[in-house]
Structure 1
């Protein structure tokens, strides 16, 4: 009996040591990617400021690990903005987007319309305050160190740095402010007298609409797009990346990686050593679909993973 107990104890200790080794490896990888980004930053400091240059960063899986809209959705769900039952009907459509990687315009329109209903009647200031809380709860620790260093590099060069995302402008602005960036471009939910109506202002800031928004900012700010940089992980953002003189792909999907190689664009992948995590993307996509489809009430998530 004692021998059997010792055997189980030894196995438990072995598993503990394995987990400890994995944790150490993960910390080493994070330290390595941060060190590489710092080295790139230090090299950049010798460059003279260029007031006609700016950098435009996508958010989901470029600035932050995963989807900002998913983290927002979880926070809204915890605060009883909606119930799980409310969104089961839309969940499979979000899962379809993630797994198949193809947008169905009809699905997008239906999901957006149904999801917007969940925030109708809520005040803008309420969503802004919740966004601040959710950033602290689940987003701050998921900022990619390497991408954060790249953004800081542009700031140190005297350039403006903008986030460009299909996520709600409220959460995009919060992330930009917390990271000390210039500002954010995001999807805007209509509100009247500070209360959401359940409709969008214009279109989701997604795909080619991002390129239009970036061009508009360049005109307003007196930027030379040939001197500007853009960063994204998604092939949906090829129009935005193609607009600037210095495109760089971050943690790219397969199609974007192939395109970047063909075009000679810079590639930065901070997921090295985490390949096993990719196997969980489909499962995570199914789970994220449940809450993600609701937070789309502010802006239907841009990902088609």
Structure 2
């Protein structure tokens, strides 16, 4: 869920050579019954794990693929109309742009978008990608928490080996999308709720032992839900965030 429609922020120049791209992994969200994560690590996606706003970029890409130059113009009009709206409302309106789109077409388009964009320099933020790989190597299970377009989130999660994707679902009517979300957008308190729900499914895991990464003040409810929180700056620098004891001790 939320697709991040906040205005673009200036970033420092990215390395000319991107980090090696993650190899495709098994689909996220599926763990064998006997498996139990030792620790959970939560990652925001846009401008935290990757160096762009995936939702708006996918919208332009998809509309251009389907409708050509007129589609690109229409996408820019839609995105412009979202500027200045509260982020949760902007996220809901963003998804309404896909009303009537066949769900299978959206999923295929998201995979194609990922294949194209992930080859570009700076698609992944090297410091965050390295942290994700380190956590996985240490036995942690990764959850991506985002309001981006759900098929886009699924494509990124599969590539980096995330076991869980946390966000709103897309409502369908038969084979087509209605443009509405099932559940609140994964923004602000919505992210905290999703994190707490996953933690509640794993009562043996202490939230104080878990990690979370975000880039925006609206990520703080999620960051304050775990014992180890990291804010990612536009240049990829990681800064520790002091957790809220009440959240990590019993807020789930």
TM, length-normalised to structure 2? 0.72
8 Å CA contact 2:209, 2:226 repeated in 1: yes
Query: Is the CA contact 1:58–1:231 (under 8 Å) kept in the aligned structure 2?
Result: yes
The 5 A counterparts of 1:286-305 are none
1:150 alignment partner, one of 119, 131, 138 = 131
How far residue 63 of structure 1 moved from its aligned partner, in angstroms, is 0.5
Q: Compute the RMSD of aligned alpha carbons.
A: 3.2
1:112 corresponds to: 92
Any conservation in 2 of the 1:228–1:244 contact (CA below 8 Å)? yes
Q: Identify unmatched segments of 5+ residues in structure 1.
A: 1-22, 35-49, 98-103, 266-305
1:228 to 195, 205, 210: 210
Q: 2:48 aligns with which of 27, 38, 62?
A: 62
Partner of 1:295: none
Superposition misfits of 4+ residues, deviation over 2 angstroms: 25-28, 80-94, 107-113, 115-118
Q: Compared with structure 1, are the counterparts of its residues 139 and 184 closer, same or farther at alpha carbon in structure 2 (3 Å cutoff)?
A: same
Aligned-residue offset at 1:215: 0.5
C-alpha deviation, 1:211, in angstroms: 0.5
Equivalent-residue separation in structure 1 for 2:168 and 2:206 (angstroms): 24
> C-alpha displacement at 1:159, in angstroms?
0.9
Describe the SS at the equivalent of 2:105.
helix
1:159 correspondence with 2:134 = no
Matches for 1:195-206 after TM superposition, within 5 Å: 195-206=176-187
Residue deviations 1:56-106, cap 9 Å, x none?
A: 000011110011112211221222267355456544444x44xxxxxx44x
What residue in structure 1 maps to residue 25 of structure 2?
none
Deviations 1:232-280 (A, max 9, x none): 0111110000010000111269xx97x94xx389xxxxxxxxxxxxxxx
Note if 1:173 corresponds to 2:159: no
1:245 aligns with 2:227: yes
Query: Which ranges in structure 2 are unaligned for 5 or more consecutive residues?
Result: 1-12, 21-35, 245-252
Residue 128 in structure 1 maps to residue 114 in structure 2: no
Which one has a larger percent helix, Structure 1 or Structure 2? Answer: 1
TM-score scaled by length of structure 1: 0.60
User: Between Structure 1 and Structure 2, how many residues are aligned?
Assistant: 210
Equivalents in 2 of 1:224, 1:204: separation in Å?
Answer: 26
State the structure with more CA Rg: 1
Structure 1 residue aligned with 2:71: 83
Q: Distance in 1 between matches of 2:243 and 2:100?
A: 48
Separation in structure 1 between the aligned mates of residue 243 and residue 200 of structure 2, nearest angstrom: 27
